[in-house]
Amino acid sequence: MSPPVNRIPSDERLPEAVDVVVIGGGVIGVSSAYHLARKGLSVALVEKGHVAGEQSSRNWGWCRQQGRARAEIPLAREALRLWEEIQEEAGADTGFRRTGVLFLTKDPKEAADWERWAGIAREQQVHSTLLTPAQVAETLPTNAEKWVAGLHTPSDGRAEPSMAVPALALAARKRGVTIHQGCAARGLETTGGAVSAVVTEKGAIRTQAVLLAGGAWSSLFCRRHGIDLPIGLVDATACRTTPAPEFTDGALGTTAYCIRRRLDGGLTLALRGRGTVNLTPDILRYAKAFWPTFKQRRAGLKLRLGTDFFKQLFGNANWRLDQPSPFEAVRVQDPAPDMELVNAALAALIQGNPELKDIRIAEAWGGTIDSTPDTVPVISAVPSLQGFFLATGFSGHGFGIGPAAGKLAADIVRGDTPLVDPAAYSYQRLVDGRPLAPVGLF
């Protein structure tokens, strides 16, 4: 089951030509389209399903700087400012509130890692505080557990995924972006080694610049054009509860459960670092690149060999552009939730917070996360194909940094001075064998 999403209407008429075509209607694609339009470019956004249909509406709704990989901290800081700005321009509530993020630990080694990270964050004007056990108890007076430390970032926030991305799409439309849902991009036409058009199921759009923000579908789209993109797919689970007492107003994370206060009075609930890796030929192809991160996080991962392996093994990655593509066969990726994780998270939440004993699970859902080997996204030109750009591989971190990631992508496409140094997000780093950056805390 997928969470309900605020649906927006489509622009039915496909433009003949635009300055930029954005492929993908998640938070990254919509944000990129918005910022490109702000630069005065004509933009068409095409989406095989509907805006925010996949992971952009299925994530936790955390807007955090806390625990980010060093390279992501500047983007996360800028994103929080942009969330407020975009909400005002859209004239629609995204649910964004600066209510803080608090992580708790019972592991002294983890607390030491947090303290080191807080020092790095302070260098980038992000002020996170390591709380003592007494300070944690004061912050959460009804919590029944004993904690070694807490990491608190009061400037962090939360938003409602089902509301936020559609609101951002409305802001993009006000800037002139046309939005085409139920309109899969089948592939690219090229002329002289450069992009010249995007072929969709509803016709072609002439353009000299294409930004692929296709999330879990990006690697397959790239492979159709002979472009190597190491992306691993992880199925994650989250849920929402019935209304709960307001013992915390922001986001709270432990190894046993992670929660976010919702506008409807309930909690979004999940488990940190838990998911299922679908074994596919792509995973085997990129196994060496993913191995270091897998070793670090394997305790929370299940491995599954299912039909996806054989579909990819025997599937055709060279479909004709005048025939239906794989993107039309699955309009919305909708994996089943792992109810074992849901039940474990709820039990741990209630055990640690007895005042929540009466809450229940109202709805659970699955989502598919697109992850790079170092869990840092690709926001970059692709050198082998002029006019082709990527904004993908956000590794479960895309929602919170979406507004700033889209701005950086727009800067790169337009050739403007980038919002932040784009080197850490380069496509080349994933394919040239250089050592990859260390992953973040969470």
pLDDT at 90: 81
- Count the neighbouring beta carbons within 10 Å of the beta carbon of residue 120: 14
The answer, yes or no, to whether residue 2 has pLDDT greater than 80, is: no
**pLDDT value at residue 438:** 56
Show the tokens assigned to 264.
């409807």
Q: Is 416 helix (H, G, I), strand (E, B) or coil?
A: coil
User: Which residues on adjacent β-strands are paired with residue 379?
Assistant: 391
**pTM (2 decimals)?**
0.94
Strand partners, 252: 102, 259
Mean pLDDT of 80-96: 89
- Residue 436 pLDDT: 56
- Taking 90 as the threshold, does the pLDDT of residue 289 lie above it? no
Sequential DSSP letters for 137-190: HHHSTT--S--SEEEEETT-EE--HHHHHHHHHHHHHHTT-EEEES--EEEEEE
Q: How many CB atoms lie within 10 A of CB 240?
A: 17
pLDDT single digits (tens) 205-264: 999 999 999 999 999 999 999 999 999 899 999 999 999 998 888 999 999 999 999 999
Q: Report the Cα 52 to chain-centroid distance in Å.
A: 11
CB-CB contact of 216 with 412 (8 Å): no
pLDDT of residue 30: 98
CA of 37: how far to CAs of 11, 21, 42, 412, 419, in Å?
A: 16, 11, 6, 14, 16
* Predicted pLDDT at 98: 95
The pLDDT value recorded for residue 86 is: 85
The pLDDT, as a whole number, for residue 429 is: 92
Nearest C-alpha neighbor of 25 from the set 57, 2, 1: 57
As a whole number, mean pLDDT of residues 110-134 equals 95
| CA atoms within a 13 Å half-sphere pointing along the CA-CB vector of 163 | 17
Quick check: 406 pLDDT over 70? yes
Give me 320's structure tokens.
Answer: 């004709």
Contacts with 112 (C-beta within 8 Å, 6 or more apart), sequence order? none
Residue 286: the pLDDT is 81
According to the model, what pLDDT value does residue 439 have? 60
What the chain holds in terms of domains, given with CATH numbers, is 20-100+155-430 (3.50.50.60), 101-154 (no CATH)
What pLDDT sits at residue 302? Answer: 83
Q: What is the mean pLDDT of residues 114-120?
A: 95
367 neighbors 58 (Cβ within 8 angstroms) = yes
Residue whose tokens read 């912050």: 139
Q: What pLDDT was estimated at residue 83?
A: 92
pLDDT for 47: 98
The number of CA neighbours under 13 Å toward the Cβ of 13 is 4
Give percent above pLDDT 70 in the chain. 95
Residue 315 has pLDDT above 70, yes or no: no
Higher-pLDDT residue of 278 and 399 is: 399
- pLDDT tens digits, one per residue of 381-395: 999 999 999 999 999
Q: What is the pLDDT of residue 84?
A: 87
Q: What is the pLDDT of residues 156-172, one digit of tens each?
A: 999 999 999 999 999 99
What is the distance between the alpha carbons of residues 152 and 133, in angstroms, rounded to a whole number?
Answer: 13
Report the alpha-carbon angle 397-400-403, nearest 5. 115
Residue 314 has pLDDT above 60, yes or no: no
pLDDT for the residue 287: 77
- Can you read off the two tokens belonging to residue 340? 């074992």
Residue 291 pLDDT more than 90? no
Q: Which amino acid, 319?
A: W
- Compute CA distances 290 → 219, 294, 370, 375, 434, whole Å: 15, 6, 13, 10, 13
